[in-house]
């Protein structure tokens, strides 16, 4: 069998990569372990434009966000499903320091209009929500149902004979003398490893320092303000699902043993939910998975410096839903048009080999 590209892993990265390549007429084969627990199948999928403890609004986020939403909308149109949900975010201040941090953002004449375009004064029902210091309502946020999205892409690939269940070990990939690669009986121009946290075991890319983190997410039931659909954030977050149910998260553990839920992880998330909710809640499900994180939580990609047809794409982490569409396009343009990989994401530039 001969294809243009073998893609290893069908998480969010592999799914978007396969989609873009197929749209350009390329023949792909996605090989995935089809595991029940992966970061993409468990991920919260949140898009929070104003983020972090410093209430930062990254440069270029306007373009990144617009492009991401357009990509998800295009895929939804093609597949006839909705995966991305446009929601505002109730960002609660934790104290006077948070109020001061936000005031400082607005005091910068060069940035004030940008921040005001993404946020406005918060109004929230404080009979059920702990918001003694108020907060801001962040616009242009939302969440992607990543598990449903990945499954939709999988069905799309199956219909085009572009998906296979299997385990690709990096040492089983052969580089052909005249260019290209071979895995089992399949040859391709190149192979792209989108393995998430399991990329730590790939012998081609062992020098890329990963700092993966296990995260727990709970599905709960509680009394919430009537009609409240916003994501509510205060260190942790809750995502209302309707009928009193919500997802809440998340923990962040770099010292994990495996991807399975732990009592410690559950307790950490429960505490974050208690900071937000005044009423007690019932836990009805507990999931966890491992986020693929590389330095500065950035996405990294590119060709192996010594083996040109071995390609890397990893590190989506907790901001994957926002960043993945634009980063994927950059890699696709490199593979199909020969455009340079952005230096900030290029593994040949950012790491010593």
Q: What angle do CA 272, 210, 236 make, to 5 degrees?
A: 10
pLDDT at residue 42 is higher than 90 = no
20 with 206: CB under 8 angstroms? Answer: no
Percent of the chain with pLDDT over 70: 100
- For 233, the token pair is 């954030």
Mean pLDDT, the chain, rounded, equals 95
Strands (E), the chain: 5-8, 28-32, 46-47, 84-92, 119-121, 135-144, 163-165, 174-175, 181-183, 186-188, 190-193, 213-222, 231-234, 236-242, 245-249, 281-291, 300-303, 310-314
pLDDT exceeds cutoff 90 at 296: no
Confidence of residue 145 (pLDDT cuts 50, 70, 90): very high
Domains in the chain, CATH or no CATH each? 5-43+147-210+295-350 (3.50.50.60), 46-144 (no CATH), 213-291 (3.30.9.10)
Instruction: Say if residue 19's pLDDT is above 80.
Output: yes
Return the DSSP state at 65: H
d(CA 49, CA 141): 6
Which tokens is 214 given? 């296990």
pLDDT at 39 over 80: no
For 261-290, write each residue's pLDDT tens digit.
Answer: 999 999 999 999 999 999 999 999 999 999
At residue 295 the predicted structure's pLDDT band, cuts being 50, 70 and 90, is confident
Are 269 and 217 in contact by the 8 Å Cβ rule? The answer is yes
Neighbours of 94 (CB within 10 A): 15
Q: Is the pLDDT of residue 163 over 90?
A: yes
pTM tops 0.75: yes
| Predicted local distance difference test score (pLDDT) of residue 321 | 95
Cβ pair 336, 26 in contact under 8 A? yes
pLDDT in tens, 223-239: 999 999 999 999 999 99
Tell me, what's the pLDDT at 35? 82
> Given a cut of 90, is residue 40 above it in pLDDT?
no
For the cut 80, the answer to whether the pLDDT of residue 36 exceeds it is: no
**In this structure, what token pair is assigned to residue 81?**
């499903």
Taking the C-alpha atoms of residue 143 and residue 231, their distance in angstroms, rounded to an integer, is 9
CA-nearest of 254, 261, 263 to 197 is 254
Q: Is the pLDDT of residue 298 over 90?
A: no
Tell me the average pLDDT across 310-323. 92
CA 59 centroid distance within chain: 19
- What is the pLDDT at residue 38? 79
Q: What is the DSSP string of 284-349?
A: EEEEEEEE--BGGG--EEEE-SS-TTEEEEE--GGGHHHHHHHHHHHHHHHHHH-PPPPGGGBHHH
Name the 3-class secondary structure at 177: coil
Does residue 43 contact residue 216 with C-beta atoms inside 8 Å? no
Strands 163-165 and 28-32: parallel
Percent helix, strand and coil across the chain, each to the nearest 5: 35, 30, 35
């Amino acid at each position: 069998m001969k294809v243009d590209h073998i893609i290893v892993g069908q998480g969010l990265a592999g799914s978007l990569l396969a989609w873009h390549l197929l749209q350009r007429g390329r023949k792909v084969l996605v090989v995935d372990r089809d595991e029940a627990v992966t970061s993409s199948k468990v991920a919260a999928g949140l898009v929070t434009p104003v983020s972090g403890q410093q209430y930062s609004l990254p440069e270029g986020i306007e373009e990144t966000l617009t492009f991401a939403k357009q990509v998800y909308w295009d895929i939804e149109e093609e597949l006839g499903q909705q995966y991305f949900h446009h929601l505002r975010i109730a960002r609660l201040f934790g104290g006077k320091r948070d109020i001061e941090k936000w005031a400082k953002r607005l005091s910068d004449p060069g940035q004030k209009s940008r921040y005001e375009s993404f946020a406005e004064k918060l109004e929230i029902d404080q009979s059920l929500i702990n918001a003694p210091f108020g907060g801001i309502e962040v616009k242009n946020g939302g969440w992607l149902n990543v598990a449903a999205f990945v499954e939709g892409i999988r069905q799309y690939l199956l219909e085009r004979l572009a998906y296979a269940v299997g385990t690709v070990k990096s040492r089983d990939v052969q580089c052909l003398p005249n260019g290209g690669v071979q895995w089992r009986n399949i040859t391709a121009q190149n192979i792209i490893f989108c393995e998430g946290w399991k990329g730590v075991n790939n012998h081609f890319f062992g020098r890329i320092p990963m700092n993966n983190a296990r995260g727990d997410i709970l599905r709960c039931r509680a009394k919430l303000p009537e009609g409240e659909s916003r994501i509510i954030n205060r260190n942790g977050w809750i995502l209302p699902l309707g009928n009193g149910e919500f997802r809440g998260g998340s923990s962040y553990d770099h010292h994990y043993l495996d991807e399975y839920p732990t009592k410690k992880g559950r307790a950490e998330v429960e505490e974050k939910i208690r900071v937000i909710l005044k009423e007690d809640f019932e836990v009805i499900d507990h999931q966890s998975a491992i986020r693929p994180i590389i330095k500065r939580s950035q996405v990294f990609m590119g060709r192996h410096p010594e083996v040109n047809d071995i390609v890397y794409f990893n590190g989506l982490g907790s901001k994957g839903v926002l960043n993945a569409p634009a980063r994927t396009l950059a890699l696709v343009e490199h593979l199909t048009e020969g455009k340079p990989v952005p230096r900030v994401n290029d593994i040949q530039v950012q790491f010593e080999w």
